Amino acid sequence: MKLFTRIMAVAAILAMPLAPVLAANITITVGDNYYRGPGNTTQDFDIRTINVGDVVTWNFVGQSSHPTASDNGKWVTFTTNRSITFNTVGSYPYHCDAHGAPGAGQYGVLTVVVPTATAKLDASAAGINLSVYPNPSHGQVTVKLDQKPGVDYKLRLSNIIGQEIRTVALKPELTAAGLSLDLSDLRAGMYVYSLLADGKVVSTKRLVLQN
C-alpha cells in the first residue's frame, strides 16, 4: 500500500503544469518620470519580451505620483505596488498618466510570448547582432544582421500598441551588406522591431520615425 501511495504521489508531481516552475518574476521600478526593468539602468521607458505565466511587479520608489495606465484597457490604473500574472499572448503597452503618454515620456511595452521547451535564445550569447539605422529615421533604413547558418530570421515591425505593421524575411544574401527598407509610408512616431529566429523572439528594440 505504501508503494502504491508513493507511485501515485510521483505521478501527481509529474502531471503538474510546467508554467509555474518556468515562470519568471520581473520587477519594474517606477521612479520619478521613469520605468526601469532588469537590464535597464538609464532609459525612462522600458520595453521587454516576457513569457506566458511570468509575473511582473511594478515597484514604486518615486517621490511623486505615477498612475500607471494600460494603453489598451488590460488593467485598471494603479498608483501603488502591483503584481500582474500575464497568461495571454499579446502586447501590453502602458504609460504614466502624469508624466507620459502612449509611446512617449514615461512608458513601457510588455510583449508576451509562448515559452519554448528549451531555454530562450539569447541574441548576444548566440552571436546574433542586428542593427537598424539610422535611428531616428525619416523612413529609409538599413538592416544589418550577423547570422548563424541554418536559422530562419525575420524582422517584425509593430506599432506601440502591439499591432504588427510589417514582417520581412532576412535572407543571408540580402543582409550581408545591409538590406534597405523603405518605411516612408508609415506615420511618424515610435515603433518596436523584433528579431525572430525560427519563430522565436530573440531581441526587441525601438525605432523612431520622423517626418
Report if pTM > 0.75: no
> Chain centroid to CA 163: how far?
13
Which CATH number describes the domain made up of 23-113?
A: 2.60.40.420
Q: What is the mean pLDDT of residues 141-161?
A: 84
119 — pLDDT class (breaks 50, 70, 90)? very low
Q: What Cα–Cα distance (Å) separates residue 208 from each residue in 73, 117, 140, 156?
A: 24, 34, 12, 15
pLDDT of 147 reads: 73
Question: Between residues 17 and 178, which one has the greater pLDDT?
Answer: 178
- pLDDT tens for each residue of 6-49: 444 434 433 344 334 457 889 999 999 999 998 888 889 999 98
Kindly report, as residue ranges, where domains of CATH 2.60.40.10 are found in the chain. Answer: 129-209
pLDDT of 129 reads: 74
Sheet holding 189-197, edge to edge: 164-169, 153-159, 189-197, 200-209
Q: What is the residue-averaged pLDDT of the chain?
A: 81
99-124 burial code (b ≥16 CB/10 A, e <16): bbebbeebbbbbbbbebeeeeebebe
Question: Between residues 155 and 114, which one has the greater pLDDT?
Answer: 155
Which CATH number describes the domain made up of 129-209?
A: 2.60.40.10
Res. 196: pLDDT tops 60: yes
Res. 2: pLDDT tops 80: no
pLDDT above 70: percentage of residues in the chain: 81
Res. 207: pLDDT tops 60: yes
- pLDDT tens for each residue of 63-118: 999 999 999 999 999 999 999 999 998 999 999 999 999 999 999 999 998 765 43
Kindly report, as residue ranges, where domains of CATH 2.60.40.420 are found in the chain. Answer: 23-113
